[in-house]
Structures are given as structure tokens and as C-alpha cells.
Structure 1
Amino acid sequence: MIVNSARDIAVGSIVDVDGLQVGHFTLSERLTGCSVVLAVDGAVGAVDVRGAAPGTRETDLLDPSNLVDKVHAVVLSGGSAFGLDAASGVMRWLDEQGMGFETGYGRVPIVPAAVLFDLPVVCPGNDPKAKPGADAGYAACLAATRNQPAAGNVGAGAGACVGKLFGLQRCMKGGIGNASVRVGPWVVGALVACNAVGDVIDPATGQVIAGARSADGKTLIDTQRALLNGESSHRPLPGTNTTIGVVATNATLNKAQAKRLAMSAHDGLARSIRPAHTTLDGDTLFAMATCTESGPADLMLLTVMAAQATALATVDAVRQAQGISTLWGHVPAASL
């Protein structure tokens, strides 16, 4: 069953949408990894990029004015731009399964991807050079199932942190989270890897759940309030943060309608992250429509569902995370 209030714990996931599977791979050498959403029969794809410092692949192809309308997987990865290589491994796996866009000279899998920056997250004993590559993407495909996906410190959320505007020493653990919403025959699910520079907020109460802490580490300071009060921040480099995700539905949509779903999903980020879509983030959300529900789609309703599912998945990402020990100190989490 699906919740319809942000006060509730997120329930369900993107695999509640027929035709999708999710797989995670987390590196053993360092706390990073990648996640894949597989559409075995293809899904109408779209994307909306709101952050000012994105790291992406195959996003131009998803423009409604361009030719290919279906994707076969979407990859979310840590490792900054290095992590885009994980999509190559996903392509290799799909090619072995005979899946892809038919060209007349063979099938070409369409695999858009987005990455987040987790390179500073090095734990004692880690290899700081380890990053998700093609083998990690391939392994994520092998792990993909229709079971409820893992959350927290796994896959693309393994090295995610939030609340970094006042320095890494005062941040908290981010992660990857799940949620889905059902209304009548329609299902909208979301998978979100939250590595925001801002705080994560309970949309129902406006209270900070995880984010920047006071200098002594004991309390949450509310980044937005601190900035508006004139407190000086220690701004990280642009692109060293980012929340990325996928919102999906069983509705039958075209590319333009799927684009609207991705755009509305960003409302969910704005409700659950404060500040969101900053010059330091590369916030990117993909949309996938599996078209397994053939009735006329209520796009207005679906966009409302998309924002709700995204907000719940973002909150789930930090609530399912676990604290870690890094070379700069302990990073606590907002576990339930």
C-alpha cells in the first residue's frame, strides 16, 4: 500500500511500477557505487536537469523533439564524472540480453546516466582511487530484481552526504531512498540518491531531518536560516554535491508527457531539500513510463504523484542511511 502524507514513512519503491527492476552495486574498496533501473521491455524516457553543475550522459537524446523515445535502463552513480563509465557496463549487459534500439545493423541499448560527487568520502583503509566503472554497472544489472530495493548506504547513495555548506566536518550522511504512490490504476515510484549541499526537510513539518550541524556537532542549524541570518558558509566547489533520481509510472505517456513528469518530480526535491537546485548541485531527475496501463493518462494527477513520491524517496534516503567514519571524522545519520 502507498502512503499519501509526508508524515508517513515512505513505503514501496520504483519497482512497484510494472516492467522495472532495480540493482545496486557497492564497491568494497571505497564507499561508493552505482544503481540501475532496468526496463526490460523499454520505457518512454525523459529528463529534467535543474542543478547548475550536472554530470550526465545521453540527456540530449531524451528531448521530446529528438528521435529515440525509449530507454532500456537509467544509471545513477557515485564517482563524479568517472561514474558515467558504469553505463558502459549496463550497455554490455543489455547487449548480451539482445535489448536495445533496432538500427538494422544490430541493437543499441539506450542508457542515460547521471552522477553525484562522493570523492571526498574516504574511510580508513579505503582506496581513494576506487570509482564505479563499467564492471560496477554490469554487476548492478546482475543484481537487479523486482524485490524492494535496498536503501541508505548502498549503490549510488553509498558515499552520499548532506548539509555541507559549513564544511564536511559538520555534514550528515545521505543515501539512496525509495517510495511509491498509487491512485486508482496509476502507480508512480521514485528512486532518489541524495547528496545535497543543503539540508533534508520533512515536507509536512518543515523541520530539518539531516543536514549541517553546529560547530560542536550536537544540533542541526538549518542551513537556509543560517544563510539568511548572514552566517558565513564554507562553500564547496560547484558540482561536488547533487541529488539524482528516477521517477517512473505505469501510465502510457509520450516523451513530452514524461518530460512533464520529470519536471514535476523536481517539486518533490524542492519540498524535501533546502536549499535545492543550487549552483553547487547538479540535481537531475529522469522519468520512465513503462506504458503497461493502457487507459487514458491523467497527467495532472500523475505530476502530483511524482512530486509526492520524489519527496518521500528523498526523506527515505537519509532516514535509511547509517553513520560512517571517514578520514575527516565521524559522519552521523538520521536513522529512524
Structure 2
Amino acid sequence: MQACSLHSACGAITDVAGIEVGHFTDPRRPTGCSVVIAREGAVAGVDVRGAAPGTRETDLLAPGNLVEQVHAIMLAGGSAWGLEAATGAVRWLEEHGVGLDVGVGRLPLVPAAVLFDLHVGDMKVRPDAAAGYAACAAATREPPAEGNVGAGAGAVVGKMFGLQHAMKGGVGTASVTVAGVTVGALIACNAVGDVVDPDTGRPLAGARAADGLTLRDTRHALLLGEPPHPLLAGSNTTIGVIATDARLTKVQAQRLAVAGHDGLARSINPVHTMSDGDTLFTLSTGHVPHHPGMMVLATMAGEAVARATVRAVLAARTLRTAEGLALPCHADLSAGS
């Protein structure tokens, strides 16, 4: 497994053969969506750990159900409205001959998950089918942009003590390779909790103290008895995609999604709360027929997710909205330290 320092690039999900990524970012709010495409189809799985998810077509990914492969995963802002972005992806994929052969044509299968970013700017601006179509049109095999783009454009972290003390979240990506097999992740981090260094537990971005320049450390604050700000259920959520070129069954793909949440647990604290809809998908393109076993793959998935989550806040940039909301980024706090 290659080394990856905290502040360096850590690879990308597009290091996995057969994977493309595209973002659409709407600067009016901001908000957006991110798509992970597997044109040749990919065995897929999903695991939902947050208590307030917003998803589409996740039932078909259950190991006991018929469909073996999907063709893209859509991640979007906009809460439930953002699920419409998947419709645009379906249209784009059909136009490009991608989908399940159903005899009379090809049916693209595009599961999706959304995060809640409606408190950032004008909530009436949200991803729609046109946004999903545009994200697909922008998809490439190149390492995707990180930070304030796509599904992470309106993402915020550290909201436990109110939005006025929060910081900018975003999109991050990473990959790890062992024995010729690659596992990558794309994460849109909009957690209610803090994002922490998975090796030390030190907060990197999250709820700020009263001075606005230092981090409160949400875990310690809660354990010391500081009451959380009243939270709107489901107004957060971290969503993402894990991809590997290893050949997996649907059962194995689902287990890899489960293991990926270990990476969220290492890099977000608290995580999987009643106010989050944390959801991770897995895609297996099968370009590499062998793999080092599920124990190693699960470790790789957790590592890729943790690194991508950290990248999401390290790559984020300060956001100020027309409504007066100011969300500093990790770099702002680093400069002030």
C-alpha cells in the first residue's frame, strides 16, 4: 500500500480501471452532483448507516435480488430533490448505448444518494435531471476535482453547535493498491460531526470555538456536557462510492460497502448519527480476476474512504453566500494557528 501524507494527494477513484467521474457544480447557491460511471457495468453493493438517508434504486443492489450490475452511481446535493439528477444520468447513458440489454433497448441502472445542503444559499436552486446529464457529459478517467465541486459544492461539516460555528466540507478522492489490485473512493462529506485525522484523532475541520479560529472538538465537548444545537433531522449526511478493479460477487460488493464505513468512523466523529444519512456504494469492474482476499480488500476500502474524507475538507475552500453565511475552511484555521 503506497504512502499518503495528510496534506498530499492520495490517488483517485479513477485509478480503478473502468471508472469515470464527472461533476456538475451550480454556482448560484452553490450545489451540484457527482457521477461515477462504469460504462461496461459493475457489480454493485450498498450499505446505509445514517438514520436519515435519501436514496434511489438501492433495493436492486441486495445480494438476493436479480440485477447483477449497474452502470453509474449518482451523488447529489439538494436533499430529496437532488435524486432527480439520476434521471439525467439515465438519459445520457442511454444516448451513449450504456445499459442493461432488455431486448428492445438498453436500460441504464443508476442508484443514487443525496445529502442535505439546503441551508447554504437559495434552497430553490438544486440539482435536477439537466445537472445529472451535465455531470455525465463531463466525466473522464482523469483524477476528479476535489473540494467545493459537484455533490460537495454546498457541503458543510461541524454543525453540532449551530451552522454559525461550522466549516466548509466538500468532495475528496483517494485510492490504495495492494498486490496489483486497486480500491478507490469518492466521498462527499457533509457531516454533522468533525472530520478528524484518522491516525491521530485530531480534528481537522468541524465545529469552531467561540473565537471562530480554533476547533471546539465536538467529541470532547459533548462528553463534557455541552448540549448540541437543536438539529433538523437529516440535514447533514456523508455519501460516497468505493470502486475496485477486483472481481467481486454481489455479496462481496455489499460487504466491501460495509467495511468502507469503518473509514468514515475513523475520519468523522461523531458519525452515523440520527441527523446523518451516511450511505456508501461499491462498484466492482472486474478488470483484475484475482484479489488478495476480502480481509485485505476490506482494509483497503476503509483506508481509501478515510483518506478521501480527509481530502474532502483539506481541498475545501472558504465559502461566503449572498445571504451572509460565512464558512471557513481547514486552510483558514491552519493560517491562524
Q: TM-score range by the shorter chain?
A: over 0.9
Contact kept in structure 1, 2:247 and 2:284, CA below 8 Å? yes
Deviations 1:221-251 (A, max 9, x none): 1111111111011132111000000001000
Helix, strand or coil: the match of 2:330?
A: coil
- CA-CA distance at 1:297 after TM superposition: 5.0
Which residue of structure 1 aligns with residue 30 of structure 2? 31
Tell me the equivalent position of 2:138.
143
Q: Which residue of 2 aligns with 1:59?
A: 58
Q: Is the CA contact 2:116–2:235 (under 8 Å) kept in the aligned structure 1? A: yes
The 8 Å contact of residues 162 and 172 in structure 1, kept in 2 or not, is answered as yes
Partner of 1:186: 181
- Distance in 2 separating the partners of 1:295 and 1:3: 20
Measure how far apart 1:8 and its partner are. 6.1
- Matched position secondary structure for 1:46: strand
User: What is the aligned counterpart of 2:260 among 265, 272, 277?
Assistant: 265
One-letter amino acid of the structure 1 residue matched with residue 106 of structure 2 = R
Letter paired with 1:211: G
Q: What's 2:288 paired with?
A: 293
Per the TM alignment, residue 150 of structure 1 is displaced from its structure 2 partner at its CA by 0.1
CA contact (8 A) 2:179 2:292 kept: no
- How far apart are the structure 2 equivalents of 1:109 and 1:183? 31
Per the TM alignment, residue 312 of structure 1 is displaced from its structure 2 partner at its CA by 0.1
Aligned to 1:289, the other structure's residue is in SS state: strand
SS in 1 for 2:43: strand
Tell me what 2:330 maps to: 334
Matched-pair identity in % = 60
Is the 1:163–1:211 contact (alpha carbons within 8 Å) kept by the matching residues of 2?
Answer: yes
Asked whether 1:154 is paired with 2:153, we answer: no
1:315 to 302, 310, 316: 310
Decide which moves more: 213-222 or 52-61.
Answer: 213-222
Which residue number corresponds to residue 106 of structure 1? 105
3-state secondary structure, aligned to 1:249: strand
Give, in whole Å, the separation in 2 of the partners of 1:203 and 1:298.
Answer: 24
User: CA distance change for structure 1 residues 7 and 322 in 2, over 3 Å: closer, same or farther?
Assistant: closer
Q: Which of 234, 237, 249 in structure 2 is aligned with 1:239?
A: 234
- Deviation string, structure 1 residues 200-225 (Cα, Å, up to 9, x no partner): 00011110000001123121011111
The one-letter code matched in structure 2 to 1:46 is: G
SS where residue 306 of structure 1 aligns? helix
Q: For 2:284 and 2:196, how far apart are their aligned partners in 1? A: 28
- DSSP-derived class of the 1:261 partner: helix
- The whole-number CA distance in structure 2 between the counterparts of 1:140 and 1:304 is 30
Cα pair 2:88 2:132 within 8 Å, conserved = yes
Q: Residue type matched to 1:152 in 2?
A: G
- Paired letter, 1:334: H
The offset of 1:265, in angstroms, is 0.4
Q: 1:297 to 1:290 in 2, by over 3 A?
A: farther
What SS does structure 2 have at the residue aligned with 1:110?
coil
CA-CA distance at 1:329 after TM superposition: 3.1
Equivalent-residue separation in structure 1 for 2:80 and 2:248 (angstroms): 31
The count of residues paired between Structure 1 and Structure 2 equals 331
Equivalent positions of 1:4-19 (< 5 A) are 4=3, 7=6, 9-19=8-18
Q: Which ranges in structure 2 are unaligned for 5 or more consecutive residues?
A: none
- 3-state secondary structure, aligned to 1:35: strand
Structure 2: distance between partners of 1:240 and 1:329: 16
The letter of the residue matching 1:229 is: L
CA contact (8 A) 2:78 2:123 kept: no
Deviations 1:128-159 (A, max 9, x none): 41110000000001100001100000000000
| Conserved 8 A contact 1:23-1:144 | yes
Question: CA–CA distance in 2 between the matches of 1:158 and 1:131?
Answer: 11
- Partner of residue 72, structure 1: 71
Match of 2:220 in 1: 225
Q: In terms of mean alpha carbon deviation, does 47-56 or 27-36 score higher? A: 27-36
Amino acid at match of 1:109: P
Aligned equivalent of 1:198: 193
1:118 alignment counterpart:
117
1:164 aligns with 2:159: yes
